Amino acid sequence: MNNSSMVTEFLLLGFAGPWKLQLLQAVIFMVIYLSALMGNILIITITSLDPCLHTPMYFFLRNLSVIDLCLISAIVPKTVVDSLTQCNSISILGCLVQIFLVLCLAVAELSLLTAMSFDRYAAICHPLHYDVIMNRGSCVRMAAVSWLSGCLISLIHTANTWSLSYCGPNEIQHFFCDIPQLLAISCSEHVTTEIVLIFISAVLDFCCFVCIIISYIHIFSTIRKIPSTQGRSKAYSTCLPHLTVVALFLSTAFTAYLKPILGSKSFFDLILSAFYILLPPSLNPIIYSLRNKAMKTGLEKLITKKLLRKVNILIFIQE
């Protein structure tokens, strides 16, 4: 890491402004973070403890909640601390870790959403063979590929970005370390390599998007052939939450990253990046649990078990 002798730390300018504005931003971020934390932990707990939810759909949902939990935790706590203390510096190692985590988790989430679309395709288009297609081994392999692909792609991008030289300004016009912003302040002549890697990653992401679209073309074509209204309604209810999550994640991610790599970061761009980091992790639990009867039943079972346990403890103490 030859660049460490030139730049020892970066300054995350983020939402610069008066103290009251910084405090308001910290409060908003913290409230959203705590709601995302509680929602995703609740989904992980319910899908883990309720045997009725030990199915491929909820297995992938549990993995999605873990990814969302890690993604928002990699950014928001430091952002809140920076806003409250007005100390916006981040070490080279800290920036490196943040880049790796964000890229790894974002790629893993997109891969997992693609696997979830295949799960819905198998359940609706091939219901008689669903248990064979989506057996436990297949689900574990899909989840493992999602995590490993995220780690591999993130490792390549992080290593290549950090091989660049940073000898000039160390101010990053963002509230977390981001590759486009690091490219903007790099004084290296080999920025083109990372731009090519970003383009290749965008092509791979687009392939995942195409796979999701193809899956849902077959799904909706099959749903239209279902004779009963109740059957069509049930099929739509299992697909629409996933489709909503895909649309939310891709729209915020593409809007945040389809910007000129070398250019100034406006306040509107920071808002878009905040949406990309905050909205999917905080809204996914609501989208998947709001109209999901199985999740509501699992939550009722969990609450009932806890109440019964407390009642039994009180009875034991009284005796």
Residues 45/49/52/54 CA torsion (nearest 10 deg):
80
Judge whether 139 and 60 are in contact, CB under 8 Å.
Answer: yes
Digitized pLDDT (tens) for each residue of the chain, 319 residues in all: 444 446 678 888 877 777 788 888 889 999 999 999 998 998 998 888 888 888 898 999 999 999 999 999 999 998 888 888 878 888 888 888 999 999 999 999 999 999 999 999 999 999 899 999 999 999 999 999 999 999 999 998 888 877 777 776 778 878 888 887 787 777 776 667 767 777 788 788 888 989 999 999 999 999 988 888 888 888 888 788 888 888 888 877 776 666 544 444 566 777 777 887 888 888 888 887 766 777 777 777 777 776 666 656 656 565 5
**pTM, entire model:** 0.85
Q: What pLDDT is stored for residue 319 in this prediction?
A: 58
Amino acid identity for residue 307 in this structure? L
Q: What pLDDT is stored for residue 308 in this prediction?
A: 65
Domain extents in the chain: 2-293
User: ∠ CA 276-183-21 to the nearest 5 degrees?
Assistant: 45
Q: What pLDDT is stored for residue 313 in this prediction?
A: 62
Which CATH code of 1.20.1070.10, 3.30.300.30, 3.30.460.10, 3.40.50.300 fits the domain covering 2-293?
Answer: 1.20.1070.10
Q: How far is CA 100 from CA 9, 89, 95, 151, in A?
A: 17, 18, 9, 8
